[in-house]
Amino acid sequence: MFKVCKFVNKMMVDEAIAQCKIRALKGTLMMAEILEEAKKRASSEFNIEYPSTMYVADAFAIQSEIVKGAKRHAHEVWHVHRYRYVHVFVRLEEGPPPPTAYRYPMPNGWEKMKKYVDYLHNRTVKYGL
């Protein structure tokens, strides 16, 4: 679910739902249901007039407790099954999404090169003369 949460982050709600349904994986279909429910809840409980103009501000998943169960096979062979549960949290905001998905714009190749060259020029030999 971590990858799905990063996939829909900073995306318009309707676009995120459509993209999740196109992918048609288990996690993306679950995320589409979660976003539809959040959109419906925003309009009914929080009185948002146009829920389609909202974007996914935050989406993250936290693993819940693991429930263990046992399954009996033939000849008294027992196997432990682990049922994993995940809590998915989604926060929607009104308005257009920010221009970048991150807080700061990603540096391009020239900026990375300049930073690396500055590092090379400023390095010193430790305990040197």
Residue 48 lies in a domain: yes
pLDDT of residue 99: 82
Q: Is residue 6 part of a domain?
A: yes
Q: Range of 18's domain?
A: 2-96
Q: Under DSSP, is residue 106 helix (H, G, I), strand (E, B) or coil?
A: coil
Is the pLDDT confidence value at 3 over 90?
A: yes
127 lies in some domain: no
Orientation angle between helical segments 13-23 and 26-44, nearest 10 degrees = 150
> Domains in the chain: how many in total?
1
Inside any domain, residue 54? yes
Q: Distances from the Cα of 45 to the Cαs of 37, 38, 49, 117, in angstroms? A: 11, 10, 11, 55
At 72 the pLDDT is 94
Does 71 score more than 90 pLDDT? yes
Which pLDDT belongs to residue 70?
A: 95
CA separation, residue 48 to residues 12, 24, 42 (Å): 15, 29, 6
CATH number at residue 60: 3.90.470.10
**Which sign, positive or negative, has the C-alpha torsion 28, 29, 32, 37?**
negative
Residue 109 lies in a domain: no
Average pLDDT in the 68-90 region? 94
Q: Tell me whether residue 111 is in a domain.
A: no
Q: Is the whole model's pTM more than 0.75, yes or no?
A: no
11 within some domain: yes
- State the pLDDT confidence band at 27, using cuts at 50, 70 and 90: very high
